[in-house]
Amino acid sequence: MSVLNKQIVLANRPNGMPSLDTFRFVEQEINEPAEDEVLLRTLYVSVDPYMRGRMHDAESYIAPFQLNEVIEGGSIGEVVTSKSEKYQPGDIVIGMFGWQTYYTAKEEEVRKIDPSIAPISTHLGVLGMTGLTAYFGLLDIGKPTEGETVVISGAAGAVGSVVGQIAKIKGTRVVGIAGSDEKITFLKEQLHFDEVINYKTATNMKKEIEKACPNGVDVYFDNVGGEISDAVLSKLNRFARVPVCGAISSYNLEKIDVGPRVQTTLIKKSALMQGFTVGNYAKRFPEGAIQLGQWLQEGKLTYRETIREGFENIPNAFLDLFKGNNIGKLLVKVSDRQNDQ
Amino acid sequence: MSVLNKQIVLANRPNGMPSLDTFRFVEQEINEPAEDEVLLRTLYVSVDPYMRGRMHDAESYIAPFQLNEVIEGGSIGEVVTSKSEKYQPGDIVIGMFGWQTYYTAKEEEVRKIDPSIAPISTHLGVLGMTGLTAYFGLLDIGKPTEGETVVISGAAGAVGSVVGQIAKIKGTRVVGIAGSDEKITFLKEQLHFDEVINYKTATNMKKEIEKACPNGVDVYFDNVGGEISDAVLSKLNRFARVPVCGAISSYNLEKIDVGPRVQTTLIKKSALMQGFTVGNYAKRFPEGAIQLGQWLQEGKLTYRETIREGFENIPNAFLDLFKGNNIGKLLVKVSDRQNDQ
Q: What is the pLDDT of residues A191-213, one digit of tens each?
A: 999 999 999 999 999 999 999 99
- What ipTM was predicted for this assembly? 0.93
SS3 B158: helix
A271 touches chain B (CB under 8 A): yes
Contact call for B277 and A260, based on CB within 8 A: no
Per-residue pLDDT band for B340 (boundaries 50, 70, 90) equals low
Shortest CB distance from B264 goes to which of A238, A250, A276?
A250
Q: Is the pLDDT of residue B323 over 70?
A: yes
Contact call for A264 and B257, based on CB within 8 A: yes
- Residue A12, number of CB atoms within 10 A of its CB: 14
Q: Is the pLDDT of residue B1 over 80?
A: no
Cβ proximity of A150 and A168 under 8 Å: no
DSSP state string for A195-215: EEEETTT-S-HHHHHHHH-TT
Percent of chain A with pLDDT over 90: 90
Contact call for B226 and A266, based on CB within 8 A: no
* Chain mean pLDDT for chain A: 95
- Residue A237, number of CB atoms within 10 A of its CB: 17
Question: Measuring CA to CA, which residue among A208, A243, A201, A250 is closest to residue A225?
Answer: A250
pLDDT score recorded for residue A340: 54
Average pLDDT over residues B217-237: 97
Domain with CATH 3.90.180.10 in chain B: 5-125+304-333
Kindly give the residue spans of alpha helices, DSSP state H, lying in chain B.
50-54, 129-136, 158-169, 181-185, 205-212, 226-233, 263-269, 285-297, 314-320
Q: How many residues does chain B have?
A: 341
Average pLDDT over residues B265-281: 96
Ramachandran sector of residue A50 (left: φ over 0; alpha: ψ -120 to 50; beta: rest)? alpha
A61 touches chain B (CB under 8 A): yes
Q: How many residues does chain A have?
A: 341
Q: In terms of CA atoms, which chain B residue is nearest residue A238?
A: B61
pLDDT score recorded for residue A254: 84
B270 neighbourhood in chain A, CB within 8 Å: 61, 274-277, 280
Give CA–CA dist A256/B260, Å, rounded: 6
Q: Encode pLDDT of A247-289 as tens digits.
A: 988 888 888 899 999 999 999 999 999 999 999 999 999 999 9
Shortest CB distance from A270 goes to which of B225, B256, B277?
B277
Q: Encode pLDDT of B136-195 as tens digits.
A: 999 999 999 999 999 999 999 999 999 999 999 999 999 999 999 999 999 999 999 999
Q: Are strands B217-221 and B236-244 parallel, antiparallel or unpaired?
A: parallel
A327 touches chain B (CB under 8 A): no
Per-residue pLDDT band for A182 (boundaries 50, 70, 90) equals very high
Q: Is the pLDDT of residue A58 over 90?
A: no
CATH number among 3.40.50.10710, 2.60.40.290, 3.90.180.10, 1.10.3720.10, domain A5-125+304-333: 3.90.180.10
Give the CATH fold of the A129-279 domain: Rossmann fold (3.40.50)
Per-residue pLDDT band for B339 (boundaries 50, 70, 90) equals low
Percent of chain A with pLDDT over 70: 99
- Residue B37, number of CB atoms within 10 A of its CB: 19
Q: Is the pLDDT of residue B244 over 90?
A: yes
pLDDT score recorded for residue A155: 97
B259 neighbourhood in chain A, CB within 8 Å: 258-259, 261
B265 neighbourhood in chain A, CB within 8 Å: 275
A228 touches chain B (CB under 8 A): no
Write the CB contacts of A146 (distance below 8 Å, at least 6 apart in sequence): A170, A171, A172
DSSP state string for B326-338: --BEEEEE----S
Domain with CATH 3.40.50.720 in chain B: 129-279
Per-residue pLDDT band for B117 (boundaries 50, 70, 90) equals confident
A252 touches chain B (CB under 8 A): no
Average pLDDT over residues A222-244: 97
